[in-house]
Amino acid sequence: MCAKKIAVLTSGGDAPGMNAAVRAVVRTAISFGMEVFGVKRGYNGLLHGEVERMYLRSVSNIIQHGGTALFTARSPEFNTPEGVEKAAANCREMGIDGVVVIGGDGSFRGARDLSNAGIPCIGVPGTIDNDISSSEYTIGYDTAMNTAMDMIDRIRDTTESHDRCSVVEVMGRRCGDIALNTGIAVGAIATLVPEVEIDFERDLIERIKFAQQTGKRHFIVVVAEGVGHTEELCKRIQEETGIESSATILGHVQRGGSPTLRDRVVGSQMGYHAVELLRDGKSNRVVVMQGERITDFDITEALNMPRVFDEKLYEISQNLSR
């Protein structure tokens, strides 16, 4: 059955470009003749009635802003069978017959549970980590990489001025994509990612010492969040090379800021496709990017897909870091 009254929510960690997706959902739904409602603070809002009707002007002037205009929150209550049933009952009471969920894999599990409870749901991948196995790209990823690159470029100014080694940790949870791409972009001497086992002597010390012999005097090391131990790595580098070293953990600065053009456009494309699916009576799907094309998969199928690490890009990184 085609959806006539839908809701949109953002769940989990915020990501630049979520507002573009929200805007696309609202305006696409209205253009299709649907009523559309915004749910504040994720699944928690569904449970506690933080739901309001949205109009064309409700999403004016948000596309350029980071974060999420609908806010987001964790909801332990929703992660119970009773919580899912309560959220489904609230949707039925309000006449909502479709929900677009923008978030990561945890949010998609919630969307699957809500779909199984009788409320059609469509997932849209919004996370800076780019760790959704079914999608080559997630909303917020490009902005996060560009933020990390900009921050490390600024750190490099001091690193170069003092002949130091700067060890910089970037976000990504258990996924090394932000680190790998940023490492190449900033010319890091080494990039450490959780997908590849690390040999401290080979991957760090020998590289730094070889570069010293060729005249290099300052160094950038990029460490993925999933590798961690950044302070310890920094200390060991200084002890074994004699180079003054400092550690920087960029943290949540990578989640903020105005989204890049790519995140605004992809967010808009994915939000549009999500509403198309609900209009066509589809449910329990996740919108993804495959080969630069927007498509969709069954949520359960998507959640079970193995993640593929870009080994060729890692090889490029290794060969250029000298």
Question: Which of 97, 129, 203, 296 is an active site residue?
Answer: 129
Whether 310 sits among the annotated catalytic residues: the reply is: no
3-state secondary structure the chain: CCCCEEEEEECCCCCCCHHHHHHHHHHHHHHCCCEEEEECCHHHHHHHCCEEECCHHHHCCCCCCCCCCCCCCCCCCCCCHHHHHHHHHHHHHHCCCCEEEEECHHHHHHHHHHHHCCCCEEEEEECCCCCCCCCCCCECHHHHHHHHHHHHHHHHHHHHHCCCEEEEEECCCCCCHHHHHHHHHHCCCEEECCCCCCCHHHHHHHHHHHHHHCCCCCEEEEEECCCCCHHHHHHHHHHHHCCCEEEEECHHHHHCCCCCHHHHHHHHHHHHHHHHHHHCCCCCEEEEEECCEEEEEEHHHHHCCCCCCCHHHHHHHHHHCC
Catalytically annotated residues: 129
